Amino acid sequence: MLDIRRISTSRWWHKKKTWLFFVILLFLVFVRISKGSLYKDFFYFISKPFWPGQFQKEVILKSIEQESLIKLDLLRKDNTRLRKILSLRESSNYDKISAAVISRKTGSWWRQIILNKGSKDGVEIGSTVIGPGGLLGRIDNTSFFTSSVTLITSPESKLGVWVDRLQINGLLVGLGDDYPSLILYSKDADIKVGDYVSSSPASTLLPPNIPIGIVQSIDDPFKAKKTAKISLLANPHVIDWVQILKLNI
């Protein structure tokens, strides 16, 4: 009699484990298909009491001041050229959606932040994200309540940029650290430490004249192409509030 009970209990336990395994498998498949949207929306609610306040004022105010000075200079120099090129998009055509940073993944290959605004707020994939100082990245995924931003420091990020002093375009490539690389495909480009870099007027991904950073160091100057390390004006490690640029169509 005892053996029968043991066998019955054992069978029930194995069935329970099978169902448990099946439920977990279904959950993982759902998460995979939804690209983590359920997880992000759940995180949205449990993290709400801890959303950042408006602190670190000195860092933010300094970044805003630098951004304003650079942007004013870029707009003044670029105004005439933009009027002549009708195909370029105007940054004034963008509405701004304010959002708080509720999660950061800024280690090597996970250069990403999560915001507390999603598709319900009108956030769209591909929208530009800026912070105090300048460009941070672009929206690469949205859920109903949240959105994910691929930072310009991510290895997945490649953007056309503009070096104002030289009046030439370049390519900004994320390397997985805090200093993306600027590539100029002209060996004669006289790039110097301290040169300002902004979004390119010819870019099809970004609005023009968004400040990005300053040339910090220059790599081997004798190569066929010039490369330089860029120190970003907007630091994703300390920024708690951002703005999402939404194009008015």
The pLDDT tens digits of the residues spanning 198-247 come to 998 888 888 888 999 999 999 876 666 889 999 999 988 888 889 999 76
Q: What is the mean pLDDT of residues 172-189?
A: 89
Compute the average pLDDT of residues 99-115.
82
The DSSP code for 48 is G
DSSP assignment of 151-209 equals ETTSTT-EEEEEETTTTEEEEEE--SSSSPEEEES-TT----TT-EEEE-TT-SSS-TT
Supply the pLDDT for residue 29: 66
When computed from its CA atoms, the radius of gyration of the chain, rounded to whole angstroms, is 24
CB 209 within 8 A of CB 201: yes
Q: What is the pLDDT of residue 238?
A: 82
Q: Which residues pair with 146 in a beta bridge?
A: none
Whole-angstrom Cα distance, residue 26 to residue 134?
A: 42
Q: How confident is the model at residue 154 (pLDDT cuts 50, 70, 90)?
A: very high
Write down the mean pLDDT value for the chain: 78
Residues 6+ apart with CB under 8 A from 93: 207, 247, 248
| Count of other CB atoms within 10 angstroms of residue 77 | 13
CA distance 74 to 43: 39
Among 85-89, 166-170, 183-187, 233-237, top mean pLDDT goes to 166-170
> In the prediction, which pLDDT does 85 show?
44
- Tokens for 126, please give them: 């591909």
| 3-state DSSP assignment of residue 148 | strand
How, if at all, do strands 181-184 and 147-151 pair? unpaired
What does the alpha-carbon distance between residue 126 and residue 124 come to, in Å, rounded to a whole number? 6
Give the three-state DSSP class for 115.
strand
CA distance 236 to 111: 9
Query: Which pLDDT does position 2 carry in this prediction?
Result: 45
Whether residue 130 has pLDDT greater than 60: yes
